[in-house]
Amino acid sequence: MAKLYPTPHINAVPEDFGKTVLMPGDPLRAKFIAEKFLTDAKLVNNVRGIQGYTGTYDGTKVSVMASGMGMPSIGIYSYELYNFFGVENIMRIGSAGAMSNKIKVRDIVMGMGASTNSNFVANFNLPGTYAPICSYKMLKTCADIAEEMGVNYHVGNLLSSDVFYNDNENIPEMLTATPAWSKMGVMAVEMEAAALYMNAARAGKNALAICTISDHLLTGEATTAEERQNSFTEMMELALKTAVKLDK
């Protein structure tokens, strides 16, 4: 039998991870969550600087590991976690740019679905158009906890964009595409959820993307990189409480 561990991207064994893994894009955000919220947090992966930690929160074993930026990156890490390390639930916790005047900077959005301009789905050889969606159980659990916490949240469709910069103009590609997507009710744009949802579906596992609005593509309001790394604590606590409930 071929050796399964370590994988090319994760130097760990299944016992190193909890049932649920929180995945911010930024390794420093993973480190921040582990140090601020987890008890007895242990570094379980640091291949290519993609920091992964496992500890306990409210007595429940929980892991947090960075995904890197973009669908190819989260596609690799979520695939390995689902298929080799026995992880059941992955929650993307990141930032997103709002496309709706109903949504404000620092609000939380939960991706019921994830539209995309990516060709990631071609990997699955489907004879039509696939609609990536989250796990209903994870979404309901998270939304119920958000109600209890009094969090200002929105549920709907995200756009997972494959690119940030337009080839023709030195402005964010997602800004030029905003009117077309927003008129279809898309709440916000980010760069990972669709691939995560597809990998979860293929593996028979569960996924949910919850994002804090870091900037607004209609108003121009934005947070700093430091704020995104360290201050989105409401989203972090919401995700951790969801992980605890999912473990029961």
The catalytic site residues sit at: 215
Determine the Cα angle at 89 with ends 224 and 24, to 5°: 15
Using CA atoms, how far apart are residues 189 and 64, in angstroms rounded to an integer? 23
Task: Give the DSSP H/E element, type plus range, for residue 233.
Answer: helix 233-246
Distances in Å between the Cα of 131 and the Cα atoms of 128, 147, 148 are 10, 27, 30
Cα 206 → chain centroid: 12
Of 149, 134, 169, which Cα lies nearest the Cα of 236? 149
Asked whether 92 and 77 are in contact (CB, 8 A), the reply is no
Instruction: Give φ, ψ of 102 to 5 degrees.
Output: -80, -10
User: Tokens 């409480």 — which residue?
Assistant: 241
Q: If you count them, how many residues does the chain have?
A: 248
Distances in Å between the Cα of 173 and the Cα atoms of 76, 92, 203, 218 are 24, 22, 31, 14
The residues near 232 (Cβ < 8 Å, ≥ 6 apart) are 93, 95, 212
The residues near 32 (Cβ < 8 Å, ≥ 6 apart) are 229, 230
